[in-house]
A = this chain, B = another copy of it.
Amino acid sequence: MLHIILTTALLITTMSALAQQAPAPPIVSPEVSADHKVTFRIQAPKATAVKLSGGDIPDNGPGAAMTKNDAGLWEVTLGPLPAGAFRYNFNVDGLSVIDPRNPAISESNNNVWSLVVVPGSDFMDTREVPHGAVAAVTYKSASLNRMRRMHIYTPPGYEAGKDKYPVFYLLHGSSDSDDSWSSVGRAGFILDNLIADKKAKPMIVVMPAGHTSPMVRRAPGATGPNPTEEFVTDLMGSIVPYVESHYRAKTDRASRAIAGLSMGGSQTLNAAIPRLDKFAYVGVFSSGLFNAANQQGPSWEDTHKAELDNAEWKKGLKLLWFATGKEDRLMPSTKSTVAMLEKHGFKPVFIESAGGHVWLNWRDYMNQFVPQLFK
């Protein structure tokens, strides 16, 4: 079989695409050790300062300084890190760079991160259990009048089966994308594990793109289309109808759940509370509604008074679930929203967890929320 080996070598050396890149030295990055320490490396001989950036890596703070060896290889070891998935990039003399040696990535709205998965979690690991499929799906948004992308998880057995399934709409946070929940969020693997362990019902999980355009920071008082309204219109007008006509989806209220983190939590409240006849399960992770001190016009509570006080709708609401970390700066918003909802006769569950505004919490919240659905 030597000739096949030579064949492979010949193919590689003759590929024009490869010829554009200098042969890479055998740098391994990231390297996860048995004790869950992670070593990050980047070859940058001309750089004068390299830092590891990554908001969700515990104790990485403003970014760990990396050190350079004589060959120009920068390196830092962190941890032991908790099990999970962590986004990171390198700051090379002020330039944000993803890891040139790591093909694993997680997409945001305006950029891409490198991704490292630290194993050791029963609920997040890629275990040897039946797996579902996570599809990129292109659909027409009627309200935005263009083709858009979402991700859809179908549970093990879906592709060859005949059953209908309930649907869980799962929204990402500000600056992220429809890829985020299935990459850094590990949503598909969390579902696979919960279903294998018989802790959750098999379900379809729809992960739309919550930003309707490249993210721009809107100044207070800015005019033009409101991004939350644009998204909610797309969700209710195009995404839900697409899923319910293109998938074997159950379409009654008791078979629809919605949740989101941060911006997605606010979108969840904006989508679900005024249409509570459509959703039986509502989750808000690290978020709430806000009443800015300098707001003008009627408050969200005033605007939605009729829906908030609709006793009929409350009867079919099976779960209204909030979770926010004690160190999360959005805790006041969560608390004021929970209090406002209680004032209108809701009985929200409110979990005050440890930690802050990080994916470590959001994956954990999802792992707590999903087993309560569609019972």
Partner-B contacts on A (CB < 8 A): 1-21, 23-24, 26, 42-47, 53-56, 62-63, 87, 92-98, 100-103, 105, 107-112, 126, 128, 131, 133-140, 147, 152, 154, 157-160, 162, 173-175, 177, 182, 188-189, 192, 215-222, 226-229, 245-248, 262-263, 266, 270, 287, 289-292, 294-297, 299-300, 329-330, 356-358
Contacts and interface: CB of A to CB of B under 8 A. Distances in A.
28 contacts: A2-B297, A3-B291, A3-B296, A4-B229, A5-B221, A5-B226, A6-B294, A7-B228, A8-B174, A8-B228, A8-B266, A11-B290, A12-B263, A14-B329, A15-B262, A20-B55, A44-B94, A45-B94, A102-B111, A102-B112, A105-B107, A128-B147, A131-B138, A134-B136, A154-B159, A158-B159, A159-B247, A159-B248
Nearest to A16: B357
Contact of A15 (B97, B174, B221): B174
A133 B152 contact: yes
Contacts of A263: 8, 11-12
Number of copies: 2
A12 B175 contact: yes
Interface of A is mostly: loop
Given A45-B94, A128-B140, 7 more contacts: A5-B222, A6-B290, A7-B228, A7-B266, A23-B217, A46-B94, A46-B95
A189 B136 CA distance: 12
A352 B39 CA distance: 48
Q: 8 tightest A-B contacts by CB?
A: A17-B55, A133-B135, A135-B135, A6-B292, A3-B295, A131-B138, A7-B290, A20-B55
